[in-house]
Amino acid sequence: MKAVIAEIITIGDEILYGQIVDTNSAWMGTELTGIGVKVKQITSISDNATHIVQALNDARSRADIILITGGLGPTKDDLTKHVLADYFHTSLKLHEPSLADIAALFQNRGIELTELNRQQAFLPVSCTAVRNVLGTAPGMWFEQEGKVFVSMPGVPFEMKRMMTDTVLPQLKAHFRTPHILHKVIQTVGLAESILAERLEAWETSLPEHLKLAYLPNLGGVRLRLTGQGDDEAALEEELQGQVEKLPGLIGKYIFAYGEVPLEEAIGRMLQERGLTMATAESCTGGFLAHKITSVPGSSAWFQGGLIAYHNAVKTQELHIKPETLQQHGAVSEAVVRAMAENVRRKLGTDIGLATSGIAGPDGGTPEKPVGTIWIACADKDKTVAKMLSYNKSRLLNIEYTAVAVLNLLRQSLGAGVEE
Amino acid sequence: MKAVIAEIITIGDEILYGQIVDTNSAWMGTELTGIGVKVKQITSISDNATHIVQALNDARSRADIILITGGLGPTKDDLTKHVLADYFHTSLKLHEPSLADIAALFQNRGIELTELNRQQAFLPVSCTAVRNVLGTAPGMWFEQEGKVFVSMPGVPFEMKRMMTDTVLPQLKAHFRTPHILHKVIQTVGLAESILAERLEAWETSLPEHLKLAYLPNLGGVRLRLTGQGDDEAALEEELQGQVEKLPGLIGKYIFAYGEVPLEEAIGRMLQERGLTMATAESCTGGFLAHKITSVPGSSAWFQGGLIAYHNAVKTQELHIKPETLQQHGAVSEAVVRAMAENVRRKLGTDIGLATSGIAGPDGGTPEKPVGTIWIACADKDKTVAKMLSYNKSRLLNIEYTAVAVLNLLRQSLGAGVEE
């Protein structure tokens, strides 16, 4: 089956000048992929008639579906509707149902309908209006030479509602699309390049219609296996079969299947075993606890923590001996071990995690340069400590450290230690 | 003076499929605008040689500068470098300095340099390498027929560092652009729409060559006044004159001039007054302390904090009376006040901040729905508490709360209370 191709065109200077981040296109990309439509290009252009026409011509030369957002506001710098009317050699006419929607919207807000907003109900004669129940700019659906053009507002919640209610269902009905299935495999602890080497033979053995994507994020790599086919059940089975080969290749680095962040995967492991944890943070300064508590329901397994930023807090609250700090320094195995063990005891949890390091940009020494970080994980039987050395920005040193100590916990829980 | 035009091309399926949001282009757009370069188009395409070449040809027909991100990874689905070598009719050659950087990176991480990563040091002969100190993919700077092409990795922190250190300065030197000056005014505590109303008369009175941008971020709005002209000194003076009108209009909401985050502005105030602070967090779960410790040198004024996630930690470590928790609940003025006062006393600081609320998505009740959050700031003389009610996602509730409690501290320090 021939793939159905879509392109997305966003109109407006605010994206080009970086005043807003274009989150619409990513959302549209996910939704289109979900119905088996392949997005070939996303193009952001300015509110300029010539440029809009050029973008439309370029897009239609490659795609079956052209989705346009933005430039539908009531102000005079919003050209999209007029450009589209010219582009499709048609004129504007008052669209009563849209006017009714707009009037209702203003009534709800208890404000007078302005002439500018009334003008928004005038639509190109040759288009089918796409209802916008959340805003004043209706969408427009055009068809020409078998291609579909849809223009929508750039306001995210308006666009999303119109896509979900009208555009996606109608595209699904209009085009016969292949089934697209994704399998996500989450790994941590192996650099992308090393992971790729381990998977090379398997990856090259994949049939044409299965594609593997490496999606690295802080300290981990998300693997996405995408399959395309006409028989959904057979495709699902084929993907599953391929995924089941992975534990044999990279078993100990896989922490989850599907869209599950590391902290949530660890939370599940702790809950299954009825374990609780606490944190003692120096260099991560609260980010580790933040990552943990970003998981809804984490209160079931996370008791709390201490941010022992100043050494006085390390001695007073975590009972680190002043002589230990004196002798080894705050960034040392001795101190980070004691921090993990003592916070565990202090808050009465099964597990204690600790971090102590030099996040930078200042505070480095020849023996302990910026990016020298100690992490530890203590449970009732043992304490494991590890030294990290990063040379990243302050924030990245902090973020990578949090992922590393969470992975230390994952390993101490015996996760995938077999290979 | 003729405007210098740039286009941005991002390469990689993950953006098209919506697996990641393209935040790079917005950042680049802001930076390019900042040096007087006009971004005309942002194009996201897939890892496909034909498509990459087409995008390069389209872009060069409109722009002087073509910035390319992505497709430089070590894996075989990354084509950019080879496509560029063909496009500029040149071949790949080992670039020793880049290999040295890559080797050093692996040495720091204490892992073996892989062949795949060694391959990344092979660069097109006709390009100038752009150093990448944070990753394994060097950038490439090409010049042809007066146009500049720069290829960079898609990893945000690598790209940003390369842009800041090398690409932006070199573009500024290579092209003669009009003088662009910015004044950034940081506000917190007023919604964008209300701020816009307060500033309407002033904004409309601005001359053509001065433009105001509202850049909202969590709980605050960055105002950026941009001026363009040939006489830099006169422009600077004119901008300064306009900025000096703002305190009279929105004085108490301005926390800084220039690119200073709220937590850093507060840190400066504390340091000037020789004050220290501590945090007691429930619903923010460490994010407040993280925001504070994201400021380099924050150890000078931030002592540490407690994450009292579980009520047991609130009673045991913060001495909140069980009957208080019983009577008012953990999310209450009584509890959050006691948390702020007690953490201040416990860690011996001048100021204590506390948060307690229902971040969601679960845990709400009819009386205390999700988004009900209490914050408090205690100093030696007084404790101020405030109730917030948000109906955002868990993460946004947490982030907005941290900003709100920092603003409470700013106000309790008497900042800009005059209007």
Tens-digit pLDDT profile for residues B327-353:
999 999 999 999 999 999 999 999 999
Owning domain of residue B363 = 262-412
Give residues 333 to 362 of B whose Cβ lies within 8 Å of A: 347-348, 360-362
Asked if residue A419 is part of any domain, the answer here is no
A228 and A314, same domain (yes or no): no
B306 and B336, same domain (yes or no): yes
Mean pLDDT of all residues in B388-410: 91
Does the pLDDT value for residue B419 go beyond 70? no
**Contact between A296 and B133 using a beta-carbon 8 Å cutoff:** no
C-alpha A229/C-alpha B58 separation (Å) is 33
Distance from CA of B222 to the nearest CA of A (A): 11
B333 and B403, same domain (yes or no): yes
Q: Which residue has the higher pLDDT, B339 or B215?
A: B339
Q: Which of A25, A290, A302 to mutate to test the interface with B (most CBs of B within 10 A)?
A: A290
**Contact between B17 and A39 using a beta-carbon 8 Å cutoff:** yes
Q: Which residue among A197, A296, A313 sits closest to B362, beta carbon to beta carbon?
A: A296
Q: Which of A182, A307, A346, A355 to mutate to test the interface with B (most CBs of B within 10 A)?
A: A307
C-alpha A93/C-alpha A121 separation (Å) is 8
Instruction: Check residue B417 and give its pLDDT.
Output: 43
**Contact between B309 and A304 using a beta-carbon 8 Å cutoff:** yes
Residue-by-residue pLDDT tens, chain A, 419 positions: 578 999 999 998 889 988 788 999 999 998 898 788 999 999 999 989 999 999 999 999 999 999 999 988 776 667 899 999 999 999 999 999 999 998 988 887 677 787 888 899 999 999 999 999 888 899 999 999 999 999 999 988 899 999 999 999 999 999 988 888 889 999 999 988 899 999 999 999 999 899 888 877 888 899 989 898 888 899 999 999 999 999 999 999 999 999 899 999 999 999 999 999 999 999 999 999 999 999 999 999 999 999 999 999 999 999 999 999 999 999 999 999 999 999 999 999 999 999 999 999 998 999 999 999 999 999 999 999 999 998 778 999 999 999 999 999 999 998 754 33
The tens digit of pLDDT for each residue in B106-124 reads 887 778 888 888 999 999 9
B152 and B21, same domain (yes or no): yes
pLDDT over 70, % of chain B: 99
Chain B contact for A113, CB < 8 A? no
Chain B contact for A110, CB < 8 A? no
Give the CATH number of the domain where residue A235 resides: 3.30.70.2860
Mean pLDDT of all residues in B138-161: 96
Q: Which residue among B21, B75, B309 sits closest to A303, beta carbon to beta carbon?
A: B309
C-alpha B27/C-alpha A210 separation (Å) is 34
> Quick one: which of A111, A409, A115 has its CA closest to A278?
A409
How do beta strands A139-144 and A128-130 pair?
antiparallel
pLDDT over 90, % of chain B: 76
Q: Token digits for B215?
A: 């850049």
Q: Token digits for B90?
A: 């040149």
Beta carbons within 10 angstroms of residue B230's beta carbon:
9
Q: Token digits for B290?
A: 């993280």
Q: What is the dihedral of CA A180, A181, A186, A191, to 10 degrees?
A: -40
A91 and A215, same domain (yes or no): no
B211 chain-A contacts, CB cut-off 8 A: none
**Which residue of chain B comes nearest to A347, CA vs CA?**
B313
Contact A29, A42 (CB under 8 A): yes
**Contact between A21 and B18 using a beta-carbon 8 Å cutoff:** no
B41 and B119, same domain (yes or no): yes
How many residue pairs from chains A and B have C-beta atoms closer than 8 A?
A: 270
**Contact between B394 and A294 using a beta-carbon 8 Å cutoff:** yes
**Contact between A41 and B41 using a beta-carbon 8 Å cutoff:** no
Q: Which of A42, A45, A298, A368 to mutate to test the interface with B (most CBs of B within 10 A)?
A: A42
Predicted complex: ipTM over 0.85: no
Chain B contact for A317, CB < 8 A? yes
Chain A contact for B137, CB < 8 A? no
Q: What is the largest CA-CA distance in chain A?
A: 84
Chain B contact for A329, CB < 8 A? no
Distance from CA of A145 to the nearest CA of B (A): 23
Q: Token digits for A378?
A: 């203590």
**Contact between B307 and A288 using a beta-carbon 8 Å cutoff:** no
Chain A contact for B196, CB < 8 A? no
Handedness of CA B286, B334, A310, A316 (dihedral sign): negative
Mean pLDDT of all residues in B247-274: 95
Q: Token digits for B393?
A: 């996602």
Integer CA distances (angstroms), A38 to A35, A42, A156, A203, in order: 9, 12, 21, 22
Q: What angle do CA B260, B265, B269 make, to 5 degrees?
A: 155
Instruction: Check residue B354 and give its pLDDT.
Output: 98
Asked if residue B386 is part of any domain, the answer here is yes
Asked if residue B306 is part of any domain, the answer here is yes
C-alpha A282/C-alpha B303 separation (Å) is 10
**Contact between A45 and B41 using a beta-carbon 8 Å cutoff:** yes
Q: What are phi and psi of A303, to 5 degrees?
A: -85, -40
Q: Is A199 helix (H, G, I), strand (E, B) or coil?
A: helix
Does the pLDDT value for residue B416 go beyond 60? no
C-alpha B316/C-alpha B258 separation (Å) is 43
Mean pLDDT of all residues in B160-181: 92
Q: Of B213, B242, B257, which one is at a domain's C-terminal end?
A: B257
The DSSP element (H or E) to which A223 belongs, if any, is strand A220-229
Mean pLDDT of all residues in B204-220: 84
- DSSP states of A316-362 as a string? HHH---HHHHHHH-SSSHHHHHHHHHHHHHHTT-SEEEEEEE--SSS
**Contact between A303 and B312 using a beta-carbon 8 Å cutoff:** yes
Q: Of B152, B174, B196, which one is at a domain's C-terminal end?
A: B174
Q: Which residue among A348, A362, A389 sits closest to B296, beta carbon to beta carbon?
A: A362
How do beta strands A179-188 and A220-229 pair?
antiparallel
Q: How many residues does chain A have?
A: 419
Contact B266, B297 (CB under 8 A): no
Three-state SS string over chain B comes to CCCEEEEEEEECHHHHCCCCCCCHHHHHHHHHHHCCEEEEEEEEECCCHHHHHHHHHHHHCCCCEEEEECCCCCCCCCCHHHHHHHHCCCCEEECHHHHHHHHHHHHHHCCCCCHHHHHCCEEECCCEEECCCCCCCCEEEEEECCEEEEEECCCHHHHHHHHHHHHHHHHHHHCCCCEEEEEEEEEECCCHHHHHHHHHHHHHCCCCCEEEEEEEECCEEEEEEEEEECCHHHHHHHHHHHHCCCHHHHHHHEEEECCCCHHHHHHHHHHHHCCCEEEEECCCCCHHHHHHHCCCCHHHCEEEEEECCCHHHHHHHHCCCHHHHHHHCCCCHHHHHHHHHHHHHHCCCCEEEEEEECCCCCCCCCCCCCCEEEEEEECCCCEEEEEEECCCCHHHHHHHHHHHHHHHHHHHCCCCCCC
Chain B contact for A111, CB < 8 A? no
Looking at every residue in chain B, the average pLDDT score rounds to 92
Q: What angle do CA A346, A351, A354 make, to 5 degrees?
A: 75
Q: What is the dihedral of CA A121, A123, A129, A134, to 10 degrees?
A: -30
Asked if residue A418 is part of any domain, the answer here is no
A139 and A208, same domain (yes or no): no
**Which residue of chain B comes nearest to A197, CA vs CA?**
B116
Mean pLDDT of all residues in B226-251: 93
A252 and A271, same domain (yes or no): no
Q: Which residue among A39, A45, A393 sits closest to B157, beta carbon to beta carbon?
A: A393
Asked if residue A417 is part of any domain, the answer here is no
C-alpha B374/C-alpha B387 separation (Å) is 5
Tell me how far the alpha carbon of residue A56 is from its chain's centroid. Answer: 29
B195 and B92, same domain (yes or no): no
Q: Which residue among B134, B292, B302 sits closest to A392, beta carbon to beta carbon?
A: B134
Integer CA distances (angstroms), A82 to A21, A73, A90, A92, A155, in order: 26, 12, 10, 8, 19
Instruction: Check residue B156 and give its pLDDT.
Output: 92
Q: Of A257, A288, A318, which one is at a domain's C-terminal end?
A: A257
How do beta strands B139-144 and B179-188 pair?
unpaired
Chain B contact for A369, CB < 8 A? no
**Which residue of chain A comes nearest to B116, CA vs CA?**
A193
**Cis check: omega of the bond before B124, within 30 degrees of 0:** no
**Is A273 buried (19+), middle (13-18) or exposed (0-12) by CB count in 10 A?**
exposed
B110 chain-A contacts, CB cut-off 8 A: 389
Distance from CA of B24 to the nearest CA of A (A): 9
Chain B contact for A296, CB < 8 A? yes
**Contact between B29 and A22 using a beta-carbon 8 Å cutoff:** no
Query: Sheet of A383-389: strands edge to edge?
Result: A383-389, A372-378, A351-357, A277-281, A302-307, B302-307, B277-281, B351-357, B372-378, B383-389
A277 and A149, same domain (yes or no): no
Q: Is A275 helix (H, G, I), strand (E, B) or coil?
A: coil
Angle of helix B311-318 versus helix B333-346 axis, rounded to 10:
40
Asked if residue B419 is part of any domain, the answer here is no
Distance from CA of B293 to the nearest CA of A (A): 6
**Cis check: omega of the bond before A361, within 30 degrees of 0:** yes
Asked if residue B417 is part of any domain, the answer here is no
pLDDT band at B1 (very low <50, low <70, confident <90, very high): low
Give the CATH number of the domain where residue B138 resides: 3.40.980.10
Residues 6+ apart with CB under 8 A from B92: B81, B82, B85, B122, B123, B124, B125
A213 and A142, same domain (yes or no): no
Query: Residue with structure tokens 């699902």?
Result: A236
B155 and B11, same domain (yes or no): yes
Q: Token digits for B25?
A: 């282009």
The tens digit of pLDDT for each residue in B44-91 reads 999 899 999 999 999 999 999 999 999 998 877 789 999 999 999 999
A206 chain-B contacts, CB cut-off 8 A: none
Instruction: Check residue A19 and give its pLDDT.
Output: 78
> What total of structural domains would you count in chain A?
3
Q: Which residue has the higher pLDDT, B219 or B324?
A: B324
Q: What angle do CA B261, B191, A22 make, to 5 degrees?
A: 75
The DSSP element (H or E) to which A43 belongs, if any, is strand A37-45
